[in-house]
């Protein structure tokens, strides 16, 4: 049907395996390195923090990794997610481009994050773990892990970046609804939190600080492990269920993307949609990939590729990635999930190998795009996802100017129903664009660890 708007897969066509881009990248992804010894770290070294089930995936070179049936069973609560053609937006823009999006806002938490939360909770439960600690920025990840922990009978403790904790009380209520505990970070519960509070009692917090707190809790208890909502290879892997579904749905639409777009915080929703298509690019298909980030936290567009800590307290292994330095404190913007100093090593590799492009936008122009999207497509996007939408609109307008009927596919990573304060601020003219602080970046980069690998 030529005027179809939504493309649904039946549940029996939901992918049975995740796709691992590591098997097809032109070279290896650099391993994590011990900050003390400078030596590469293997799964055994990371075992105090993560279950073996995910650590095996972290280092796997296998192209396909089976999705366990208990995980698929939970996925079926909302997956396969719809692929939607943004016909009304195309018309409003007057573009000859076709715009498709994968809508991950249909999940219980309202974003792509449960795709990995469910898998991680499953592997922890399999190995007898009873409690998980984690951080959350916007609250999407915390509520996803709260949901997944509840399903698999695990206690969940979430350290939530303070600015988001204050902006989004209902995210905390959602976590509590699923039975989790939510603590504003920095907190007095941990040495990492106390150190920050001593220097700055009014600290807004950051994902880097919240990670330090959650890691410290997990490292200090045998029954507790840590779960990360982005960045790591296994997280990107779990998210590829999005792209694998999208490929089947784009076939139903008799279309192939010329451009694939996603917003980038730690890189996982972008990876989830893009990596399966990068496999096709590596086989010779001409597809452009665009990762979109905030101008206030421009990891891919302004950071160097370097070994760095994943957290502010310098507790994690060093990862080779694009980074703004683990001490970089992004200003408090509404896209809390994009306020992270580093980028997934796999996404960083993809950029380094020239497989993708990156660009950044200010938050107000993203909200302008988000409102236009909502008024045409009905869905109110999460502030993070609005970055992808802004890039989509710019590309669609370029197509219009050049008279090109390209096909654009993007990941609408979540809805913004818990982010209405941000929209209220936008409508009240209270949203500001903070100019990027280059001096702060240089100071933060001067502190990058020296690694001779
Ligand atoms: C809706 C939404 N999109 C995107 C992101 C960014 O994370 P990632 O880059 O890992 O997809 C977040 C993180 O919290 C999010 O909540």
Q: Is 338 in the pocket of ligand 1 (CB under 6 A)?
A: yes
The residue to mutate among 139, 238, 268, 389, having the most atoms of ligand 1 within 8 angstroms of its beta carbon, is: 268
More confident call, 313 vs 411: 411
More confident call, 11 vs 313: 11
Q: Is 272 in the pocket of ligand 1 (CB under 6 A)?
A: no
Region of residue 325 (phi > 0: left; psi between -120 and 50: alpha; otherwise: beta): left
At residue 452, does pLDDT exceed 90? no
What distance in Å separates the CA atoms of residue 210 and residue 345, rounded to the nearest whole number? Answer: 20
The residue to mutate among 138, 294, 342, 347, having the most atoms of ligand 1 within 8 angstroms of its beta carbon, is: 138
Question: Would the CA dihedral through 122, 126, 131, 134 be positive or negative?
Answer: negative
At residue 332, does pLDDT exceed 80? no
CA distances from 261 to 77, 275, 410 (A): 26, 11, 5
Per the document, the length of the chain is: 453
More confident call, 136 vs 2: 136
**Residues pairing with 267 in the sheet:** none
Q: Report the atom number in ligand 1 closest to the C-alpha of 265.
A: 9
What tokens appear for 28 in the block? Answer: 């290896």
What distance in Å separates the CA atoms of residue 40 and residue 17, rounded to the nearest whole number? Answer: 28
Q: Is 382 in the pocket of ligand 1 (CB under 6 A)?
A: yes
What distance in Å separates the CA atoms of residue 123 and residue 297, rounded to the nearest whole number? Answer: 32
The class level of CATH for 6-13+79-110+240-439 reads: alpha beta
Q: What is the fold, at CATH topology level, of the domain defined by 18-65+113-226?
A: Rossmann fold (3.40.50)
What distance in Å separates the CA atoms of residue 259 and residue 80, rounded to the nearest whole number? Answer: 22
Q: How many CA atoms lie within 13 A of 91 on its CB side?
A: 7
At residue 34, does pLDDT exceed 90? yes
pLDDT digits (tens, 9 = 90+) for 121-174: 999 999 999 999 999 988 999 999 999 999 999 999 999 999 889 988 999 999
Task: Name the segment(s) of the chain with CATH classification 3.40.50.1100.
Answer: 6-13+79-110+240-439, 18-65+113-226
CB-neighbour burial class of residue 41 (10 A; exposed 0-12, middle 13-18, buried 19+)? middle
Concatenate the DSSP letters of all residues of 102-155 into one string.
Answer: EEGGGSTTSBSTHHHHHHHHHHHHHTT--EEEEEESSSHHHHHHHHHHHHTT-E
Determine the average pLDDT of the residues in 27-39: 93
pLDDT of residue 335: 84
Q: Is 380 in the pocket of ligand 1 (CB under 6 A)?
A: no
Q: How far is the CA of 452 from the centre of ligand 1 (A)?
A: 32
Q: Is 267 in the pocket of ligand 1 (CB under 6 A)?
A: yes
Phi, psi of 92 (to 5 degrees): -60, -35
What residue owns the CA closest to ligand 1's atom 4?
Answer: 384
Model confidence at 453, pLDDT cuts 50, 70, 90, reads low
pLDDT digits (tens, 9 = 90+) for 68-110: 999 999 999 999 999 999 999 999 999 999 999 999 999 999 9
At residue 241, does pLDDT exceed 60? yes
Radius of gyration over every alpha carbon of the chain, rounded to an integer in angstroms = 20
Model confidence at 435, pLDDT cuts 50, 70, 90, reads confident
Percent of the chain with pLDDT over 70: 99
At residue 337, does pLDDT exceed 90? no
**DSSP 8-class letter at 449:** P
How many Cβ atoms are within 10 Å of 109's Cβ, its own excluded?
Answer: 28
């Amino acid at each position: 049907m030529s005027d179809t708007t939504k493309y649904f897969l039946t549940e029996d066509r939901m992918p049975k395996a995740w796709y691992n881009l590591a098997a097809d990248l032109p070279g290896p992804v650099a391993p994590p390195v011990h900050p003390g010894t400078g030596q590469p770290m293997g799964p055994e070294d990371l075992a105090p923090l993560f279950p073996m089930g995910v650590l095996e995936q972290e280092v796997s070179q296998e192209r396909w990794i089976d999705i366990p049936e208990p995980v698929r069973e939970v996925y079926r609560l909302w997956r396969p997610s719809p692929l939607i053609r943004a016909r009304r937006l195309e018309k409003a823009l007057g573009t000859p481009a076709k715009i498709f999006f994968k809508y991950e806002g249909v999940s219980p938490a309202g974003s792509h994050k449960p795709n990995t939360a469910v898998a991680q909770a499953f592997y922890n439960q399999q190995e007898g773990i009873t409690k998980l600690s984690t951080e959350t920025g916007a609250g999407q990840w915390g509520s996803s892990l709260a949901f997944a922990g509840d399903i698999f009978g695990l206690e969940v403790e979430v350290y939530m970046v303070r600015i988001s904790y204050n902006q989004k009380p209902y995210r905390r209520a959602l976590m509590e609804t699923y039975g989790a505990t939510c603590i504003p970070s920095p907190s007095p519960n941990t040495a990492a939190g106390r150190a920050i509070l001593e220097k700055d009692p009014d600290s807004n917090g950051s994902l880097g600080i919240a990670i330090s707190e959650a890691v410290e809790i997990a490292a200090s208890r045998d029954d507790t492990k840590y779960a990360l909502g982005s960045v790591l290879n296994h997280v990107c892997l779990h998210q590829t269920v999005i792209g694998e579904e999208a490929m089947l749905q784009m076939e139903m639409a008799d279309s192939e993307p010329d451009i694939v777009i996603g917003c980038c915080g730690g890189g996982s929703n972008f990876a989830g949609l893009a990596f399966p298509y990068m496999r096709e690019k590596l086989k010779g298909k001409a597809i452009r990939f665009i990762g979109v980030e905030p101008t206030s936290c421009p990891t891919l567009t302004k950071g160097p590729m370097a070994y760095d800590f994943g957290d502010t307290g310098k507790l994690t292994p060093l990862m080779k990635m694009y980074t703004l330095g683990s001490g970089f404190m992004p200003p408090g913007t509404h896209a809390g999930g994009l306020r992270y100093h580093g980028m997934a090593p796999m996404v960083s590799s993809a950029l380094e190998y020239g497989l993708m492009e990156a660009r950044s936008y200010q938050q107000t122009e993203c909200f302008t795009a988000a409102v236009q999207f909502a008024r045409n497509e009905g869905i109110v996007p999460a502030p993070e996802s609005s970055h992808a939408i802004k890039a989509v609109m710019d590309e669609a307008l370029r197509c219009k100017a050049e008279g090109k009927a390209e096909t654009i596919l993007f990941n609408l990573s979540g809805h913004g129903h818990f982010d209405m304060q941000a929209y209220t601020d936008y409508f009240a003219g209270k949203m500001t664009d903070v100019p990027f602080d280059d001096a702060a970046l240089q100071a933060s980069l001067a502190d990058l660890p020296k690694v001779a690998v």
